[in-house]
Amino acid sequence: MKVAFVGLGNMGGPMVRNLLKHAHTVTVFDLNAQAVREAVDAGASPAMSAKVAASGAEFVITMLPAAQHVRAVLGGEDGVLAGIERGVTIVDSSTIDPASARAMAELARSQGNEFVDAPVSGGTGGAAAGTLTFMVGGSTESYEHVKPVLSSMGKNIVHCGDTGTGQVAKLCNNLILGITMAGVAEAMSLGEKLGIDPAVLAGIVNTSAGRCWSSDTYNPYPGLIETAPSSRGYTGGFGTDLMLKDLGLATDAAKLAKQPAFMGALAQQLYQAMSANGDGKLDFSAIIKLYRASEG
């Protein structure tokens, strides 16, 4: 298919490479010229704007930091909706709040286009390996329509329900992730201070009740998992400021739903402290630095 892709960051870049591997024709746009060059080197065509990228596309995918970027890229003067043909579906894989996703869907529908929210989990490793999970919010018809293209980038393409429910699933998942990462960091650091080899401790945890993705796939202790950001100076993963954004989405949603989010609010403050210390661009697993003096 002819796919327009906007947002070539840590996630979007590798997602585009997988679309190309599956023989889709991909036209890309990003504000970052270096990111565009890398996508072009992999076989994509560059466009001067989101509007130009979307014109003639059979499918549009956006992978942007937050709701304000999605709003600008879709609705702006040089945006997707200014260039797209009627009947083309827009898939937004950014993590944004469910209300903004529903507003984007309304806007797209008002000019004859479908919009589905399809945020992902699986991290940069999953984006590179083409094993992401897509959480799709939209009609059954839209879900069936987007599934084959999303399958080029992911292993699990799950229909969550109507528009916005993909984002609901995502913010609940990241609420857990932000909390478990803080827990694993606290325990790994404590274990080290109490004298156990961190590799032995991680091995025990990963076959015991403490096992979770934050321990067995993305352990924050440096050097234990070769592919994890902790083994490369906490670079190239899921930025702390993005985790902070997601926990903000979760606690805001909890406020709207009139339920407490005790753990989420605490985790949010921990990542806020990291960000205030100047570590907002580091992978969120660098939260272990709050515990380990040797990590700064």
Q: Does 12 bind ligand NAD (CB under 6 A)?
A: yes
3-state secondary structure (DSSP) of residue 282: coil
Q: Which one among 5, 14, 29, 135 touches ligand NAD, defined by CB under 6 A? A: 29
Mind telling me the catalytic residues?
170
Q: Is 81 exposed, middle or buried (0-12, 13-18, 19+ CB in 10 A)?
A: buried
In contact, 24 and 150? CB cutoff 8 Å: no
Q: Which residue, 244, 236, 220, is CA-closest to 292?
A: 220
- Nearer to ligand NAD (CB atom), residue 94 or residue 189: 94
3-state DSSP of 219-264? CCCCCCCCCCHHHHCCCCCCEHHHHHHHHHHHHHHHHHCCCCCHHH
Q: With contacts defined by CB under 6 A, how many residues of the chain interact with ligand NAD?
A: 27
Q: Does 238 bind ligand NAD (CB under 6 A)?
A: yes
Binding segment (CB under 6 A) for ligand NAD, from list 28-36, 160-168, 249-257, 267-275: 28-36
Q: Does 72 bind ligand NAD (CB under 6 A)?
A: yes
Binding segment (CB under 6 A) for ligand NAD, from list 17-25, 58-66, 110-118, 253-261: 58-66
Q: Does 120 bind ligand NAD (CB under 6 A)?
A: yes
- Nearer to ligand NAD (CB atom), residue 31 or residue 204: 31
Per CB under 6 A, which of residues 151..210 are in contact with ligand NAD? none
Q: Does 124 bind ligand NAD (CB under 6 A)?
A: yes
Q: Which one among 3, 4, 5, 10 touches ligand NAD, defined by CB under 6 A? A: 10
Q: Does 68 bind ligand NAD (CB under 6 A)?
A: no
Q: Which residues bind ligand NAD (CB under 6 A)?
A: 6-12, 29-32, 35, 63-65, 69, 72-73, 94-95, 120-121, 123-124, 237-238, 242
